[in-house]
Chain A
Amino acid sequence: MPHIPLSPDLPGIRGAMAFRPETARPLNDLVEVLLTGPSTLTLGERELIATHVSSRNCTHYCHSIHGAIAAAHLGGDEALVKQVKVDFTQAAISPKLKALLAIAGKVQQDGKLVTPADVDAARKQGATDLEIHDTVLIAAAFCMYNRYVDGLGTEQPDDEALYRERGKRVARDGYVTVSEEYLGEAVHSS
């Protein structure tokens, strides 16, 4: 049960965002640019980073929905997403993404754990400054989103079909558009 009164129809982060639209807007704008904006990392790759971090933080709602969005971007490959959650080093993903996930995992614990060697390893696999920057920020941001969802005691349903369907919608329409259903017409932060 949530620690503050949140709409029972809006599980996870959605109820919290509906409660406080003023902070919802920049939260949605940030995830929109990080996970769907122009990037040399694919949509699927970036969602896998978000899913991996959320799984390490054991935030059920977040790793479920972002796992579903990742799967939607990856041709429905739920097995791949599951493998990344369990052990990404064994997953059928690029060596560059594995090196970036290693960085993300360190940021998830403490940013100070990222070493020059970690970054060099990613560069050797072709990672650019922008890709390293965004990996660090996706990991950091999901440490925020995960704590927000857990810290308010939001409802985190156990319904794979629900996440699958919602994942397809977000993959198709993005975060800001989908948020309009509970925020009203999205007003981008000025």
Chain B
Amino acid sequence: MAHINLPEGFPGISGGFVFRPETAKPMRELAHVLLHQPNSLTSGERELIATYVSSRNDCHFCQSSHGAAAACHLGDATVVEQVKTDFMAAPVSDKLKALLKIAGKVQQDGKLVTAGDVDAARKLGATDIEIHDTVLIAAAFCMFNRYVDGLGTWQPRDPAMYAQMGKHLAEEGYKEPSIRQPVEAVHSS
């Protein structure tokens, strides 16, 4: 049960966004720019970074919704699971592995990112913008995860719900809600 009176039937972050539209707006905009707008990192790669960080923060709603978005972009759900479990063994580029390493450090503490980590990413072709965005995606998901968990939001365990959310996020991005009406719980959270 949520810690405050969030609207019924809106899972995860969508409850917070309905409760407080004034803060929802810039949060949506940030996610849209970071994950959906054109970038030399593909949306699939960027959603993998978001999913990885959310998994490290053990936030069910965020890793499931962004994992579903990543799977949609990549046409492949197994790579998402592999990135969560052990990204070094996952079938992703060496550059993305170097960026995921940076993201993992930011998830703990930004001060853990070393010049060596950044050099390693550059050697594999990472640009300044890609490094910047990796750090900011990781930092932003440390916000989104804490918001979703900190309010005690309803985090369903229904894969079909996340698959639907993921499709919307992959196709439309973040500016408009993927959940417009209260949803029925299929399984209790």
Contact = CB atoms under 8 A, between A and B. Distances in A.
Interface residues of B, number: 51
B50 interface: no
Contact of B110 (A5, A130, A147): A147
A161 interface: no
A111 B23 contact: no
Interface string B149-165: 11110000000000000
Interface stretch (A19-27, A81-89, A94-102, A163-171): A19-27
Interface stretch (A41-49, A64-72, A136-144, A178-186): A136-144
A107 B146 contact: yes
B106 interface: yes
A29 interface: yes
Given A23-B33, A119-B3, A151-B135, A136 B27 contact: no
A133 B144 CA distance: 13
A129 B26 CA distance: 21
B25 interface: yes
A110 B59 CA distance: 10
Contacts of A107: 146, 150
Contact of A148 (B105, B131, B135): B135
A34 B135 contact: no
Interface string B1-35: 10111000000000010011011011101100110
A92 interface: no
B115 A151 contact: no
A110 B113 contact: no
Name B's interface SS. helix
B106 A23 contact: no
A33 B151 contact: no
Q: Which DSSP category, helix, strand, loop or mixed, fits chain A's interface?
A: helix
Nearest to A30: B26
Contacts of B16: 133, 137
B179 interface: no
B25 A189 contact: yes
A111 B59 CA distance: 9
B61 to A, nearest CB: 11
B136 A23 contact: yes
Given A139-B146, A140-B147, 19 more contacts: A1-B115, A3-B115, A4-B132, A20-B133, A23-B136, A57-B109, A110-B57, A111-B59, A111-B148, A112-B149, A114-B150, A116-B152, A133-B16, A133-B20, A140-B144, A140-B150, A143-B143, A152-B132, A189-B29
Closest 7 CB pairs of A and B: A150-B110, A111-B149, A151-B110, A111-B150, A144-B143, A140-B146, A147-B139
Interface of B: 1, 3-5, 16, 19-20, 22-23, 25-27, 29-30, 33-34, 37, 57-59, 102, 105-107, 109-111, 113, 115, 118, 128-129, 131-133, 135-136, 138-140, 142-152
30 contacts: A1-B115, A4-B118, A19-B128, A20-B136, A23-B34, A26-B30, A30-B26, A34-B23, A103-B150, A106-B150, A110-B149, A111-B147, A116-B152, A119-B4, A134-B20, A134-B23, A137-B16, A140-B143, A140-B144, A141-B143, A143-B143, A143-B146, A147-B109, A147-B110, A148-B139, A151-B106, A151-B135, A151-B138, A152-B135, A189-B25
